[in-house]
Amino acid sequence: MTAQQPRHPSAAVHTGPVASVEVALKHAVHLLEAQPALAAEQAREILTAAPGLPMARWLQAAAWRRLGEPARAAEQLEALIREHADWPAALLERALCRSALGEGGAALAELRRVVQLDPRLSDAWRALGDHLSAIGDATGADQAYLRQIQAAAGDPRLRRAALALGGHQIPVAEALLREHLKVHPTDVAAIRMFAEVAARLGRYRDAALLLERALELAPSFLAARKNYALVLHRQTRAAEALREVDTLLGAEPGNPGHRNLKAVILGTIGRYEESIALYEQLLQEYPGQPKLWLSYGHVLKTAGRSREGVQAYRRALALDPGEAEAYWSLANLKTFRFDAADEAAMRIQRARADLPAASHCFIEFALGKAEEDAGRYAAAFAHYEAANRLRRTEVPYQAEDLRGLVRRTRARLDRRFFAERSGHGSPAADPIFIVGLPRAGSTLIEQILASHPQVEGTLELPDLISMARGLSSLRPEAADTAFPEVLFELSAQQCRALGEEYLNRTRIYRRTGAPRFIDKLPNNFAHIALIQLILPNARIIDARRHPLGCCFSAFKQYFARGQSFSYGLEDLGHYYRDYVALMAHFDAVLPGRVHRVHYEALVDDMETQVRALLAYCGLAYDDRCLRYFENERAVRTASSEQVRQPIYREGLDHWRHFEAFLSPLKAALGPVLASYPQVPAIKSDAKDLDAER
For residues 108 and 101, the answer to whether their CB atoms sit within 8 Å is no
Query: Rounded to the nearest 5°, which phi and psi values hold at 688?
Result: -125, 105
Where do the domains of the chain lie? 1-150, 399-692
β-bridge partners, 456: 517
146-160, 352-366, 503-517, 529-543: segment of lowest average pLDDT: 146-160
Query: Measuring CA to CA, which residue among 177, 169, 124, 117 is closest to residue 147?
Result: 124
Q: Is the pLDDT of residue 689 over 60?
A: no
Mean pLDDT of 649-676: 91
- Please tell me the pTM assigned to this model: 0.84
CB-based contacts of 204, cutoff 8 Å, min separation 6: 198, 231, 234, 235
CB-based contacts of 337, cutoff 8 Å, min separation 6: 373
The confidence band for 9, taking pLDDT boundaries of 50, 70 and 90, is very low
Mean pLDDT of 423-429: 96
For residues 632 and 624, the answer to whether their CB atoms sit within 8 Å is no
Q: Cα 662 to chain center, whole Å?
A: 32
For residues 692 and 686, the answer to whether their CB atoms sit within 8 Å is yes
Mean pLDDT of 197-216: 93
* pLDDT for the residue numbered 304: 85
Per-chain mean pLDDT for the chain: 90
Q: At 543, which helix (H) or strand (E)?
A: strand 539-544
Q: Is the pLDDT of residue 4 over 70?
A: no
41-50, 117-126, 510-519, 681-690: segment of lowest average pLDDT: 681-690
Mean pLDDT of 154-174: 86
Query: Rounded to the nearest 5°, which phi and psi values hold at 76?
Result: -65, -40
Burial 371-410 (b: 16+ CB within 10 A, else e): bbeeeebeebbbbbbbbbebbbeeeebeeeebbbbbbbbb
Considering the segment(s) 399-692 as one domain, its CATH architecture is 3-Layer(aba) Sandwich (3.40)
Whether CATH 1.25.40.10 fits 1-150: yes
Burial 552-587 (b: 16+ CB within 10 A, else e): bbbbbbbbeeebbbbbbbebbbbbbbbbbbbbbbbb
For residues 357 and 390, the answer to whether their CB atoms sit within 8 Å is yes
CB-based contacts of 59, cutoff 8 Å, min separation 6: 3, 25, 28, 29, 32, 39, 40, 42, 43, 46
Rounded CA separation 582/524 (Å): 12
